[in-house]
Structures are given as C-alpha cells and as structure tokens.
Amino acid sequence: MPPTRRRIVAALAAIAAAASCQVIVDGELHAVHCVEDGAVGPPACVAGSTCVEGVCVPSVEGPRRLGGPCAVEADCEAGQICLEPPSFGGSGGRTCSRPCCSSSDCDGAVDAAHGARGDVVCWVAPLGGASFCRPAAEVDRAAPGSGSVGTACSAPSDCRSGLCEEARCLDGCCSDAGCAVSGGACRLAATALAQGSHWVCGSGSSRKPVLAPCAADDECSSSFCAPLGGRSFCVEPCCSSTTCATLPDGSPLACVEVVRADGAFRACAAVLPIGAAFGLGHECASGHECRSGECAADALGKGMCTDACCTDASCADPAFVCRPAEAADAGASTPRALRCQMK
C-alpha cells in the first residue's frame, strides 16, 4: 500500500478508536462497528452517524420515525417520545416510541433511510403499568407477519405481534373491544408477552361478567377478582376512569395500577367516594373530587384532575397526551405509570 494511503487509513482508524468504534481494514475500508445501539454521534460513532445494529450508519436529518434511534424527544416525529427502556425495567438503547395496547398500534415502522431495525411491536414493560412500541429484534420477537390476534399460526413470524402461543397469534389488549376480531375477551394471564401477568386476548367464556361477586380469579371472564368496598367483584381492564363502572352502593371505581407478585397492570380497582366527578383537567383541591381519584399539580402549581391512560386516545381531549409519569412510590418494583398530561 502506498505511504500516503497508509497514512489516511491509519488516521481513520485512530478517529474510530477514539469514538469507541472499530474499523476493519484488510486493505480496504469497511463498516465502522459500535456497541451502543441507538447512540447518535460520539462517543459511540463519529459525528454525523448513528449506531444501528452494531454498525455506524449516516444519520438522517429531520425527525426519525417510529422505532428509529434518538437521543431526545425532539429527534422523533410529532406525537412520539424518546423511550429509554431501562427506566421501565427493560434493556436497549433509546428509540422513538409511543404507548400502545397491541402491536397494530405500532404500524408505521422505520424505513431504511432512518436506520431500520425490523418492524415494530407492542412491548410490555417488565415492571408493568405501561406498554410501548419497540423494534421486534430489540425485544427478542420474531420479525412480524400479518396475522392478527387469535388467528392460527405455526410460527411467531406469522403474527403481527411476533408471538405465537398454542398455535394462535398472541397480543396484548386494553379492553374486550381489542379482542373482538377473534371473538375473545381481554383477560389477565401469564404468557410470553410479559414477565408477569398482563392483559391479553384470550378465548371467550361463560365466566362471570364485570362486577359479579366472586371468590377467585378463575370465576371471572377477565380472570381478575379483586376486593372492592368490603366485597370481592370481577374487575375489568381500563385505560381511563370514565370507562369504569359504579358499585351497587353508588361508589365510582377508578382506573389504577394494580401491583401483585405476578405482575403490575391497569384495572378498575379503586373505590372512590360518592360524588367524585370532576373530569380530566378540572381544577381540584384533592383526589376525592376527581373521577380518577387523582389531583396533580399543573405547570402553575394548581391542582388539576389527571387520569390513567394507555394511548393518547385514552385522554379524549386534544389538549392532553398520554406520557410516562413518575410512580408514586419510587421503589424498583413499582411501575412508572402512564398519565394524561397537558401538551
């Protein structure tokens, strides 16, 4: 190799080493490798490039699409967040994401120009309490197919979720409506979808309906029996307190995170005082005034009724979006909740 070319190659190798990358040289310049997927620029890659599947690729100007790498929310398209999986008990680099109920909520995967890493699926956070759109390869899922939840499958790649269990496509849900296409019900179960119990579409049954008295989980169509106001009733999943029923004595139920040894999940499982009726965004002095049971300080420090959510649509008000909020208890096993927040 001519001296001038050797000096150029040596200089490039030195730059890559300083950026925690590796240049493979066998007489020709090859890919610059890295170990921190999703990192933009130094020190993982040289300036102007992003670490994607272990290789530094040119960064794309402008907002990145769902599943693309990011450093801050401004890197992502409008309506998305820059998700940091370790904050929710997961692993992996930051990616553009949004909350979801099932993998169909994650349609609109990244393209090659934005650093594609496979189609995007709905991932249940290991700590529970929230689900987010993430590249399938990052959450150990098969590259998704087209099969909707409940349809027959012979391999995970047959399913939109990238999950096939007992010869049926498996996916999460937030209500029975999400399982209607398969004729099933949204039930609490321990499956390959989550590390603990989570709401998934299961087969319909003749079990007891919501708010029927019960003594055990397996008596209920939702597979969840919970104590409410001194008695136990069959309880349903939720994305908003406005969808929760009222007990026979008139006490409204609120949508909250339920934390159990087998997982954390949202359910209509908190009893509120009769008369708790203020809706999302209403000024409040305490949670006892709010339909959700939650009164949080707004940007000006005044009390404002907030509520649980699954996606932006759960908030049912264009002034609010569904975003992660710190858990009331900062313990490592407590999920960070999704809450309706003002834009």
DSSP secondary structure letters along 183-236: TEEEEEEE-TTSSSEEEEEEE--S-B-TT-B-SSGGGBTTS-EEEETTEEEE--
Same domain, 117 and 161: yes
Query: Are 158 and 80 part of one and the same domain?
Result: yes
Pair 278, 305: CB distance under 8 Å: yes
What is the predicted pLDDT for the residue at 333?
53
- Domain for residue 33, yes or no? yes
Question: Are residues 15 and 100 located together in one domain of the fold?
Answer: no
Strands 197-203 and 168-169: unpaired
pLDDT higher than threshold 80 for residue 58: no
Same domain for 98 and 117, yes or no, is yes
Q: Which residues contact 218 (CB under 8 A, 6 or more apart)?
A: 207
Q: According to the model, what pLDDT value does residue 38 have? A: 66
Confidence of residue 139 (pLDDT cuts 50, 70, 90): very high
Whole-angstrom Cα Rg for the chain: 23
Residue 120 lies in a domain: yes
In a domain, 71, yes or no: yes
DSSP string of 45-112?
S-TTEEEETTEEEE--SS-B-TT-B-SSGGGBPTT-EEE-GGGGT--S--EEE-B-SSGGGG-S---G
Residues 15, 48 within the same domain: yes
Question: In the prediction, which pLDDT does 25 show?
Answer: 41
The rounded distance, in Å, linking the Cα atoms of 160 and 295 is 38
How confident is the prediction for the chain on average, in pLDDT? 83
The CA-based angle 177-178-179, given to 5 degrees, is 90
- Same domain for 47 and 76, yes or no, is no
Domain boundary pick from 149, 171, 193: 171
Total structural domains in the chain? Answer: 3
Domain of 27 in residue numbering reads as 1-59
Per residue in 198-230, pLDDT tens? 999 987 677 899 999 999 999 999 999 999 988
